[in-house]
Amino acid sequence: MVEIEEKPSAAPVRPGRERPGKKGHGPDSLGGILAKIILLGITDAVAAFVLFQLVLSGEWLIFVISLATTLVINWIYLRRGGLPAKYLAPGVIFLMIFQVFVMIFSTYIAFTNYGDGHNSTKSDAIASIQLSASERVPDSPQFATSVLEKNGSYFLLVTTPEGEARLGGAETPLETVTPSTTGPTGAATGVDGYTTLDFTALLANQQAITTLTVPLSDNPEDGSLKTADGSTSYVYTPKLKFDAAADTFTDTTTGVVYSDGGRGSFVAEDGTALNTGWKVNVGLDNFVRAFTDQNLQGPLLKVIAWTFTFAILSVATTFALGLFLAITFNRADLKGQKIYRILMILPYAFPAFLSGLVWSGLLNPEFGFINNALLGGAAIPWLTDPVLAKISVLVVNLWLGYPYMFLVCTGALQSLPEEVDEAARMDGAGVFKIFTAIKLPLLLVSLAPLLISSFAFNFNNFNVIYMLTGGGPRFDGTTFDIGSTDILITMVYKIAFGTGAGRDYGLASALAIIIFLIVAAVSALSFKKTKALEDLN
């Protein structure tokens, strides 16, 4: 009879005690609890500050969302268990802020007239019109004036004819103050906490000072003070009188009446609108305007056509060159194979926006290396001629994009079984036939999704276009800053943040939605077609 020796079992762990070697390393250890308290304390402090600012600004919807998010974060990290949620929570929160919220907000803006002159409320627009459209009051009293500065803002310190010192800025109406210094005539020249500008400082900031408008009171109808030399100021009253009952502005010099046109602007009977308006919902107007506005319709259609051409040719040329080099340097008997491969991927190591700037200098018609050194001083307009600029963009993007295709094609080629090539040779197939009938279809099985993603990337390839040509040369017959090499994404950027016709965030957001729909439709169709390749696997 064989006796089985029992091995001593591990000593049981008493409740509330940890095994040796685990002390101080668990999430519920003293160190983990302290770290949790510190991080949650910092998070709650930041959240409390943000919530306080939201209350002051009256953003109640965002306040409720932020408060709920803060409470959920505290619940996740203060309760026991729920370890997956503790790891997933930061990523989900950042996803909601930087992706979901941005998409929702951009969609909302696309249905508004938000942009230059339409970026605030109607009451703010009325006040701005009254301050900006003003004229000097005849026989206005002269106010002795000193210009003061505090935290980068300018203020007017004036002395009334009655000898009272009053101080005000662009956002703060005049109020009585006690001057800290006075001039020889008894006029106030300084106030504690403010810096009085001397003559040199007045000259250096002349434009900002001469455009400074200080309201006399909270009511814009009472007028405002302006100074032309920094030493005297006069009373100005609104040139456009606002009738709150009729909700109209009347030009006191011409008698023209401007009424609310229902589109965020005060409009006269002849269609003339005041420059300052307010943000309102306009429905599908931005989408309709994109394809019907004569100032935008022609350039937009050309940009759409070039965007597809650029994306398709970029994918085709980079894939063709990358595949050719991958096949060339995939020979097992090639000496220096690793060195060649390293040299091939060097352009991939440089940031695209820096490469665009470098190539912009190389292709400069007057001082560029290509014209002066390689072409003997020729003056070829690589970046200023519409056709040559497009060719230059494609060539530069080819130089930047082929290393990626070279890498993925090399990996795909090395995954193909060699037995297929041998069987094809035994059947009498040539090199070209093996490539077109066997290798290429097998490669496309794994590379088709990458080609689709490459198309989507080049469809929105902002860096190369903007850094190389800036979208130029510019189209004629439009007030928008749109050019021959602009693609949709650079066009959207210029409309949103550029010059030309001014910033129009609503129109830019509408175009961004159009880009999303185009890319999504092309990608969905392409993925559907690539399912036919799965039978080759």
Question: Could you report the per-residue pLDDT of 349-386, keeping only the tens digit for each?
Answer: 888 888 999 999 999 988 999 999 999 889 999 999 99
CA distances from 362 to 168, 238, 244, 372, 472 (A): 54, 55, 61, 9, 17
The pLDDT of residue 83: 84
Q: Which residues lie across from 155 on neighbouring strands? A: 148, 169
The pLDDT of residue 22: 46
The pLDDT of residue 537: 53
Amino acid of residue 217? S
The pLDDT of residue 536: 52
The pLDDT of residue 21: 44
The pLDDT of residue 422: 80
The pLDDT of residue 332: 78
For residue 259, the 8-state DSSP code is: E
- Global pTM reads 0.79
The pLDDT of residue 81: 82
The pLDDT of residue 78: 86
Contacts of 349 (CB under 8 A, 6+ apart): none
The pLDDT of residue 16: 44
CA distances from 461 to 175, 387, 402, 456 (A): 54, 19, 15, 9
For tokens 């259609």, the residue is: 301
Quote the CA–CA distance of 247 and 245 in Å, as a whole number.
Answer: 6
What is the chain's pLDDT, residue by residue, as a tens digit (537 residues)?
Answer: 444 444 455 455 454 444 444 454 555 677 778 888 898 999 999 999 999 999 988 889 899 999 999 999 999 988 888 888 988 999 999 999 899 999 999 999 999 999 998 988 999 899 888 877 788 888 888 999 999 999 999 999 999 988 999 999 998 999 999 999 998 888 999 999 999 999 999 999 998 999 899 999 988 878 899 999 999 999 998 889 899 999 999 998 889 999 999 999 999 999 899 989 999 999 999 999 999 998 899 999 999 999 999 999 999 999 999 999 999 998 878 888 889 889 898 888 888 888 999 999 999 988 999 999 999 889 999 999 999 999 999 999 999 999 999 999 999 998 888 787 788 888 888 888 888 888 888 898 889 989 999 999 999 999 999 999 999 999 988 888 999 999 999 999 999 987 666 799 999 999 999 999 999 998 888 888 776 666 555
Whether a cis peptide bond, with omega within 30° of 0, leads into 184 is: no
The pLDDT of residue 28: 61
Q: Which long-range contacts (CB under 8 A, 24 or more apart) does 70-74 make?
A: 70/43, 70/44, 73/40, 73/43, 74/40, 74/44
Quote the CA–CA distance of 519 and 131 in Å, as a whole number.
Answer: 46
Burial class, 75, CB count within 10 angstroms (exposed 0-12 / middle 13-18 / buried 19+): exposed
